Amino acid sequence: RKHLLSVDDVTSDDIATLFATAAEMHDVQRREVKKLPALRGRTVINLFFEDSTRTRSSFELAGKWLSADTINITGKGSSASKGESLRDTVLTIASMGVDALVMRHSASGAAHQVAQWVDAAVINAGDGTHEHPSQALLDAYTLTRRLGTLEDKHVVIVGDLTHSRVFRSNVACLAKLGARVTVVAPPTLMPSGVDTWSAEAGFAAAYDLDEVLPKADAVMMLRVQRERMSGGFFPTGREYTVGYGLTRDRLAVLGPDVPICHPGPMNRGLEIAADAADAAQSLILEQVSSGVAIRMAILYHLLAGEGSQA
Of 20-79, which residues contact ligand CP (CB under 6 A)? 52-55
Does 82 count as an annotated binding residue? yes
Q: Indicate the residue among 61 and 310 with the shorter CB distance to ligand CP.
A: 61
CB of 188 to ligand CP, least distance (A): 23
Compute how many residues bind ligand CP; rule: CB under 6 A: 9
Q: Report which residue type is found at 169.
A: S
Does 56 count as an annotated binding residue? no
* Partners of 282 in beta bridges: 260
CB of 21 to ligand CP, least distance (A): 21
Q: Indicate the residue among 38 and 219 with the shorter CB distance to ligand CP.
A: 219
CB of 285 to ligand CP, least distance (A): 12
Does 281 count as an annotated binding residue? no
Applying CB under 6 A, which of residues 183, 263, 279, 295 lies at the interface with ligand CP?
Answer: 263
Of 234-253, which residues contact ligand CP (CB under 6 A)? none
Does 231 count as an annotated binding residue? no
Does 54 count as an annotated binding residue? yes
Beta-carbon neighbour count of residue 33 at 10 Å?
13
Q: Indicate the residue among 179 and 261 with the shorter CB distance to ligand CP.
A: 261
Binding mask 121-150 for ligand CP (x = CB under 6 A): -----x--------x---------------
Q: Report which residue type is found at 46.
A: N
Q: Indicate the residue among 59 and 65 with the shorter CB distance to ligand CP.
A: 59
Question: Which of these, 57, 62, 37, lies nearest to 297 by C-alpha position?
Answer: 62
Q: Report which residue type is found at 250.
A: R
Beta-carbon neighbour count of residue 231 at 10 Å?
5
Beta-carbon neighbour count of residue 160 at 10 Å?
25
Does 264 count as an annotated binding residue? yes
* Partners of 181 in beta bridges: 155
Asked if 265 touches ligand CP (CB under 6 A), the answer is: yes
Does 295 count as an annotated binding residue? no
Going across the sheet that includes 204-206, the strands are 204-206, 180-184, 154-158, 218-221, 260-261
Q: Indicate the residue among 245 and 263 with the shorter CB distance to ligand CP.
A: 263
CB of 95 to ligand CP, least distance (A): 27
Applying CB under 6 A, which of residues 264, 269, 289, 301 lies at the interface with ligand CP?
Answer: 264
Of 194-223, which residues contact ligand CP (CB under 6 A)? none
Does 21 count as an annotated binding residue? no
| Residues making up the binding site for L-aspartate | 82, 165, 223
| Residues making up the binding site | 54-55, 82, 104, 132, 135, 165, 223, 264-265
**Which residues of this chain interact with ligand CP, rule CB under 6 A?**
52-55, 126, 135, 263-265
| Residues making up the binding site for carbamoyl phosphate | 54-55, 104, 132, 135, 264-265
